[in-house]
Amino acid sequence: MSVVLESVTKTFEDPQRPAGKVTAVDGVTLEVNDGELVTLLGPSGCGKTTALRIIAGFESATSGRVLIDGQDVSAMSPHVRNTAMVFQSYAIFPHLTVAQNVAFGLEMRGRARSEIEFRVQSILELVGLAGLEHRSPEQLSGGQQQRVALARAIITEPRVLLFDEPLSNLDAKLREQMRGEVRKLQRRLAITSVYVTHDQSEAMALSDRIVVMDAGRVQQVGAPLEIYARPASRFVADFLGRVNFLEGDVTDIQPDRVSILVRGRSLEVPASRSDLRVGEAASLVVRPETIRLTQASTGVSGAFVGTIRRAVYLGSTAEYDIDWDGGTLLAVVSSPLEHGLLLEGTRIAFDFPAATAHVLPHPPGRRD
């Protein structure tokens, strides 16, 4: 089953705004392939939840179409769409037991009593809730409620599984454990899934592809690695992980690489770009963990030189704010136990492999 959004737009009336309305989803076009898990990732208010609710049918698109498995469902009532959603608040029916909650969707489909019992049993075993059939929801822990919500959704064998920030109410440890389980289940059942989250590490860990959204629009679509390594804009670069922008000028463009002059040093970045012009400004996207530090006294030729202004020891990593060229640069070094911690005020030389950097054209009229 595939899910297709065709230039879906949703505007809400909002008398508070000067325009009288607010555009929550703005011309979103998207295709989720059969069995794929696609994450809608973005800050709160970016339209990701609205887009999800449009697929489920809880909101109606102002314009555009939603197709599930090639069928236009835009005008279909939510209860006949056969999409199952896992809600942020779990939305467990508080007056029904665990088994009754899980059985609800099959009952609605008019399945036989014996079939329901059998399938409820096997799905509860699958999600690790066997033995809790007759518990009432308030007797369950947060993680168990989460599993009930999941079981209740997948038992109906929906055409699409929808997740609305399902793990945001769990504590950090459980969240990591559950996201592994969600991914395993989704792969095993091969259900086409759309997953909404604002947590970029969750998106990276779960997704086949990530759709980064901002202000109602799709900013970039791609596999986690691709989006992290080659963000399409400063927003995407900034939203996924942490980032340094190094400003420079394009000096040469070859079919497979771009040369950029940064603070008197020419860096060759492998890229095949048509949106850059020689002589124009550009930004280099440099991830903090790619920066390598050495004490300046040892004198590494060709490297940048700066001063450590702040050092933060975090156990598995150490973070350094480096004063450099009138700005601040962030470097993250792994295993400080092994390499030793650098002190604040130390002059250091730093460098990064040009192959890991990414070039973005500098937006016109902006210089920061």
Residues engaged in binding another protein (CB under 8 A): 13, 56, 58, 60, 75-80, 82-85, 87-89, 91-95, 104-105, 108-109, 152-153, 156
Give min distance, CB of 147 to another protein, in A: 15
Is 27 within 8 Å of 8 (Cβ atoms)? yes
SS3 65: strand
Give min distance, CB of 132 to another protein, in A: 19
CB nearer to another protein: give 93 or 118. Answer: 93
CB nearer to another protein: give 23 or 283. Answer: 23
From 220, 241, 181, select the one nearest 39 (Cα to Cα): 220
CB nearer to another protein: give 75 or 343. Answer: 75
Q: What are phi and psi of 244, to 5 degrees?
A: -115, 140
SS3 10: strand
Is 265 within 8 Å of 304 (Cβ atoms)? yes
Give min distance, CB of 185 to another protein, in A: 18
Distance CA 106, CA 108 (A): 5
How many CA atoms does the CB half-sphere of 230 hold within 13 Å?
A: 10
SS3 122: helix
Q: CB under 8 Å to 54, separation ≥6 — which residues?
A: 5, 8, 10, 25, 60, 61, 66
Give min distance, CB of 110 to another protein, in A: 9
Give min distance, CB of 30 to another protein, in A: 20
CB nearer to another protein: give 65 or 292. Answer: 65
Give min distance, CB of 21 to another protein, in A: 9
Give min distance, CB of 164 to another protein, in A: 8
What is the H or E stretch that residue 83 is in?
strand 83-86
Give min distance, CB of 10 to another protein, in A: 12
Give min distance, CB of 58 to another protein, in A: 6
CB nearer to another protein: give 152 or 358. Answer: 152
Token pair for 160: 């699409």
CB nearer to another protein: give 93 or 313. Answer: 93
Amino acid at the residue 345: G
CB nearer to another protein: give 74 or 317. Answer: 74
CB nearer to another protein: give 56 or 204. Answer: 56
Is 336 within 8 Å of 364 (Cβ atoms)? no
Name 197's bridge partners.
Answer: 41
CB nearer to another protein: give 75 or 314. Answer: 75
Q: Which long-range contacts (CB under 8 A, 24 or more apart) does 307-310 make?
A: 307/345, 307/346, 307/347, 307/348, 308/342, 308/343, 308/344, 308/345, 308/346, 308/347, 308/348, 309/344, 309/345, 310/344
